[in-house]
Amino acid sequence: MDVTIYTDGAARGNPGPGGYGAVLQHVDGNGNLHVKELSQGYECTTNNRMELLGAIAALEVLKAPCEVTLYSDSQYVVNAFNQHWVDGWLRRGWKNAKKEPVKNIDLWKRLLAAKAPHRVEFVWVKGHAGHPENERCDQLATSAADGEGRIVDEGFDRAGAAD
């Protein structure tokens, strides 16, 4: 099954209240478009964590292995795979090229697990450039960041929040 995913994350302050948004699209065998939207807000988090959680939430909702094209305006997320940063982190025991611990390890591990059953192509899209699905993800993310029902980002480490 082919699935197209669009994701975005937002934080009001860095750190601050945040949220993610994701739009999943699939065209079935009869040519019918199926769309699912996801979002969640968090009390205190960072933009990068929300960018990661958008991708994670979208991949985790898939019930069977899929061919996925995932669009994100986050170079942090896209480059981690397309420029093979993750491969280096894994080789170095979750250390970056400067031999420092990789930030957001909890979410990177969760993303790798969510991605594992699928073939995923990561594609960067310029944010706030009029791309309809990216704009919708931004609306979902910012509404979640600003809205009721925000939850605690359990993995957020205020001491290492500068990401």
Q: Per-domain residue ranges for the chain?
A: 2-152
Question: How confident is the model at residue 113, as a pLDDT?
Answer: 98
Active site residue 130: no
Q: Which fold, 2-152?
A: Nucleotidyltransferase; domain 5 (3.30.420)
Active site residue 128: yes
Q: What is the pLDDT along the chain (163 residues), one digit of tens a residue?
A: 999 999 999 999 989 999 999 999 999 999 999 999 999 999 999 999 999 999 999 999 999 999 999 999 999 999 999 999 999 999 999 999 999 999 999 999 999 999 999 999 999 999 888 889 999 999 999 999 999 999 999 999 765 555 5
153 is catalytic: no
Q: Give the pLDDT of residue 87.
A: 97
Q: Which residues are annotated as a binding site for Mg(2+)?
A: 8, 51, 73, 138
Q: Considering the candidates 19, 73, 133, 153, report the single residue annotated as catalytic.
A: 73
The catalytic position among 84, 128, 147, 163 is: 128
CA 134-79-118 angle, 5° bins? 75
Position 157 scores a pLDDT of: 77
Catalytic site includes residue 9: yes
Distance of CA 102 to the CA centre of its chain: 17
What DSSP assignment string belongs to 29-85? TTS-EEEEEEEEEEEEE-HHHHHHHHHHHHHHT--S--EEEEEES-HHHHHHHHT-H
Q: Which position has the token pair 């960072």?
A: 46
